[in-house]
Structure 1
Amino acid sequence: MPSTLATYFAFPGNTAEVLEHWHSVLGGELEIVRYSDMPLEGLPFEPDPNAVAHATLKLPAGEIAGSDVVDDKEYPLRDTAYSLLYTAETPDEARELFQGLLDGGGTVGMPLEIAPWGDLYGQVFDRFGVMWAFSYENA
């Protein structure tokens, strides 16, 4: 099996909602495994059976994975220290995905337009606070 690299998120109890939303916008193949779907013997904690143990959204361009946080600490999601960069095959695809996240409750971080370096580029914070950057090269 070849090496892979995926983005992994730990969401505050709403992993299923987040990945279902992304799946509705981006498409792909979504798989969600809850703690109730697996044996729990040997875990060093007692999880909520409905919590997401592991979820994956497989897209042609890569994979996004995540799970629910199992402790009661607060972890900030909205930040500009990270983003998901999606380089689209066409300008229309970039516009459609950007708009899909806006329509789902997101806010514009940077309008999707031709950037000084010549690419179509823009940023949107989805309704969960995750920053997405969309690009189409050499627009």
Structure 2
Amino acid sequence: MPSSLATYIALPGNTAEAMEYWHSVFGGDLVILRYGDMQLEGMPFEPDPEAVAHATLTLPVGVIAGSDVMDTREYPIRDTAYSLLYTTETDAEAKRLYDALIAGGGTVGMPLEVAPWGDLYGQVFDRFGVMWSFSCEHSG
């Protein structure tokens, strides 16, 4: 297998919901492995069998992977530390994805508009607190 790089996001118990939602917005191939689907002998902790051990959403443009965090501390998700940049081929595609995340409970971080550098650019915090930036070489 060739080397690759994927985004990995650990969410506080709602990874399956987030991955299924992103799959509905972006398409691709989704695989979710829960701890209950695995052989757990020798695990150093007792995981919830419904918790996500590993999930991957494979898109034509890249891979998003993730899991549920295992400790009970509060994790602030809504932050730019959890952010993804999605570059599209057309303005229409950027707008469609941007609008879909807002319609699904997201909030505008930055309006989708022509930026000073000339590209169409905008940011949405989805309902899970993950920031999605959309960029497209503006077509006029």
TM-score class, shorter: over 0.9
The aligned residue for residue 110 of structure 2 is: 110
8 Å Cα contact 2:57/2:63 also seen in 1: yes
Which consecutive aligned stretches of 4+ in structure 1 deviate over 3 angstroms post-superposition? none
8 Å Cα contact 2:77/2:130 also seen in 1: yes
Aligned Cα RMSD in Å?
0.9
Structure 1 segment 1-139 matched on structure 2, within 5 A: 1-139=1-139
Distance 2:46 2:137 in 1: 47
Query: What TM-score do you get using the length of structure 2 for normalisation?
Result: 0.96
Per residue, is there more strand in 1 or in 2?
Answer: 2
Aligned residue-pair number: 139
Distance 2:14 2:81 in 1: 21
The one-letter code of the counterpart of 1:119 is D
Shift of 1:75: 1.4
Unpaired segments ≥5 residues, structure 1: none
Distance 1:82 1:12 in 2: 13
| Percent of pairs with identical residues | 74
CA deviations 1:23-72 (Å, max 9, x no partner) are: 11011110000011110011100000011000000000000000011111
Unpaired segments ≥5 residues, structure 2: none
